[in-house]
Structure 1
Amino acid sequence: MFRTWFDEPKRVDSGSLQKAFAAIADYRKLLTKLIDEQTPQCETYTRYELWARGLANALDELEQSVYCAGRFRESVTHRQEEKMDAEELANYRRHLYFYKNGFIRLFSILDKLGYFMNDLLKLRSERVKRKFSYFTVLRQMQHLHAEPALAKPLQEIKERYQEQLSRLRHKRNMEIHLVNAEMLDDLLHIDACRTDRSYIEDLSANMDDLTQGLEMACLTIEAVFAYAYRRKKT
């Protein structure tokens, strides 16, 4: 959708993004078949199909946020806002909007996936924590020794992207609960002797983390829905 802003053609899915969408699509097709057959669990299958569709939409929105953040970042060359002209400053603000939107959406989609897994696999994570996250669900799987064929690859994915996720989670928490991301830049880079200068963070490093966060989400979604498909197919 947003690629038209940059006079670019519609996205062609590939790599881990395409595999994640394909895994969701296969699961939805299986559920649709079961729904059409009016099986006794028709209502449950309908609920899961809607859940899967919502996750597919959320992944699409996450990818678009990451893409736009990266494209607007390309137009930012200065490390201080005071040195930017009006156009560069506008693109910096646009980058920040989509960058923040991206890391907020990343943890939102993981938590949506966690609620889906908790319901599907009957993990009862709400007994551990009323408002649980994806990571609570993952710990619950390990605690219960539940679904080891899924828990093991999910844990491996989490550990592979641990550092990037930790930095992004910190940004998300600061944005939602304390101060926003650009104010955090000022706190981290303030010069006590030159308060008329505001330095910005390393935008390239930030984008690397966000891009890796998207990759983590894709791999996680693919693993969950491929497992859900096999579980229901057998």
Structure 2
Amino acid sequence: MLSPILGKPNETETALLQQSVRAIEAYRKDLHKLIERGGPECGRYTRFDLWCRGFVSALVELEWSVRGAGNFGQQVSHTYEEAMGEEELGCYHTHLYFYKNAFIRLFSILDKLGYFLNDMYRLQTERVKAKFSYFTVLRQMHDRKLQPKLEERLFEQKQRFKVPMDRLRQKRNMEIHHINAEMLDDLTRTDLCRADRTYIEDLAANLNDLRCGYEMVCRTIAIAFDYIRRDRPI
């Protein structure tokens, strides 16, 4: 439905999405067997299944947003808004819509995974911090030496993508708490008194960071659910 707007899927990004969705769906099949058996944990397994459905929807929507940001970003060639025609300016603002939706959703998925793992393995991260993030959960796993094999693999992904993820996190925080993320570059300009020009950020660099973040999320989800399924056989 959205393909005419978002452009053609990227094969690499589609493969990453499929890998993570397959891992979730394989785990869901095991969950359904447990739910059918009933028992005192049935409600908990049903909650996990609903969580999994949410992960799949969020990952698909993340892929849409990454693709949309890339498609419309490629149609922007000028470095400041006043030089753009109406069509290019429209593409730029549509790019921003998908781009910001993508990096906000990216951290949302990770934090949901953190809450899922916290519940699954009863990590009690809420005793450390009432409102915790995925990265807080990783620290809790490390500090308490719980599920060390999983924690090690997830930590590897965190370190592998640390630099682009740190930049994306800064933009997410600025977007939510301070100013619009696309205005960050304006704050670093030496000619801040030039009110006649509204500079745009480096779209190619931003998209590269976003695609790295997307890869990190997909790989992290796949690793987590593959591990959970092997760790808890039916």
Task: Answer whether TM exceeds 0.5 for this pair.
Answer: yes
Establish whether residue 113 from structure 1 lines up as the match of residue 122 from structure 2: no
Is the CA contact (8 Å cut-off) linking 1:189 and 1:200 kept in structure 2? no
Matched with 2:49 is 49
State the 1:19 CA deviation. 1.0
RMSD, aligned α-carbons: 1.9
Q: What CA distance in whole angstroms lies between the structure 1 residues aligned with 2:158 and 2:9?
A: 33
Q: What CA distance in whole angstroms lies between the structure 1 residues aligned with 2:193 and 2:17?
A: 47
Q: Which residues of 2 match residues 62-141 of structure 1 at below 5 A?
A: 62-141=62-141
Structure 2: gaps spanning 5 or more residues: none
Q: What CA distance in whole angstroms lies between the structure 2 residues aligned with 1:48 and 1:118?
A: 12
Q: What CA distance in whole angstroms lies between the structure 2 residues aligned with 1:107 and 1:121?
A: 21
Question: Deviation digits for residues 64-116 of structure 1, max 9, x if unmatched?
Answer: 11110000001100001111000000000000111011100000000000000
Structure 1: gaps spanning 5 or more residues: none
Establish whether residue 180 from structure 1 lines up as the match of residue 180 from structure 2: yes
Q: What CA distance in whole angstroms lies between the structure 2 residues aligned with 1:21 and 1:224?
A: 12
3-state SS in 2 of match to 1:122: coil
TM-score by length of 2: 0.94
Distance 1:13 1:172, change over 3 A: closer
Paired residue total: 234
Give the fraction of aligned pairs with identical amino acids, expressed as a percent.
54
Is the CA contact (8 Å cut-off) linking 2:75 and 2:91 kept in structure 1? yes
State the 1:4 CA deviation. 3.0
TM-score by length of 1: 0.94
3-state SS in 2 of match to 1:216: helix
Matched with 1:143 is 143
Matched with 1:222 is 222
Establish whether residue 194 from structure 1 lines up as the match of residue 194 from structure 2: yes
Q: Which moved more, 1:9-18 or 1:105-114?
A: 9-18
Letter in 1 for 2:86: A
Establish whether residue 30 from structure 1 lines up as the match of residue 51 from structure 2: no
Distance 1:147 1:96, change over 3 A: same
Matched with 1:162 is 162
